[in-house]
Amino acid sequence: MLGIDLTLAYNGTPVVHGADIALAPGRVTALVGPNGSGKSTLLRTLARLHAPESGRIELPLEGAGGAADADAIDALSLSNRDFARRVTLLAQSRPTPAGLSVREVVEFGRHPHRGRWTRGDADGAAVVEHAMSITGVAELADRQVDRLSGGQLQRVWLASCLAQDTAVLLLDEPTTYLDLRYQVELLDLIRDLAEVHGVTIGVVLHDLDQAAAIADHVVLLADGRVQASGSPAHVLTSELLSEAYGIRVDVHNDEASGHVRTRAIGRHNAARTESRPVLELALA
pLDDT in tens, 25-61: 999 999 999 999 999 999 999 999 999 999 999 998 7
In terms of Cα–Cα distance, which of 94, 127, 93 is closest to 110?
127
Domain ranges of the chain: 2-86+166-229, 95-165
> For residues 93 and 32, what is the distance between their CA atoms, to the nearest angstrom?
18
| Residues constituting the chain | 284
Rounded alpha-carbon distances, angstroms, from residue 226 to 2, 62, 147, 229: 15, 29, 41, 7
- What is the band of 281 on the pLDDT scale with cuts at 50, 70, 90? very low
Q: What local confidence, expressed as pLDDT, does residue 92 receive?
A: 85
Taking 60 as the threshold, does the pLDDT of residue 282 lie above it? Answer: no
pLDDT tens digits for 55-80? 999 998 765 444 444 578 999 999 99
> For residues 244 and 240, what is the distance between their CA atoms, to the nearest angstrom?
6
| Average pLDDT value for the chain | 88
Show the CA angle centred on residue 91, arms to residues 207 and 24, nearest 5°. 70
Count CB neighbours of 129 within 10 A. 16
CATH architecture of 2-86+166-229: 3-Layer(aba) Sandwich (3.40)
Contact 166, 193 (CB under 8 A): no
Mean pLDDT over 20-29 rounds to 95
pLDDT, greater one: 279 or 75:
75
Mean pLDDT over 167-188 rounds to 90
- What is the band of 116 on the pLDDT scale with cuts at 50, 70, 90? low
Using DSSP's 3-state secondary structure scheme, residue 222 falls into strand
Range in 160-164, 173-177, 269-273 with the lowest mean pLDDT? 269-273
Q: Mind giving me the DSSP string for 96-137?
A: --TT-BHHHHHGGGGGGGS-SS----TTHHHHHHHHHHHTT-
> For residues 44 and 73, what is the distance between their CA atoms, to the nearest angstrom?
19
pLDDT tens digits for 212-236? 999 999 999 999 999 999 999 999 9
Specify which of 4-18, 145-159, 176-190, 194-208 reaches the highest per-range mean pLDDT: 194-208
Q: What local confidence, expressed as pLDDT, does residue 165 receive?
A: 92
Mean pLDDT over 256-264 rounds to 86
Q: What local confidence, expressed as pLDDT, does residue 60 receive?
A: 86
Contact 30, 228 (CB under 8 A): no
- What is the band of 20 on the pLDDT scale with cuts at 50, 70, 90? very high
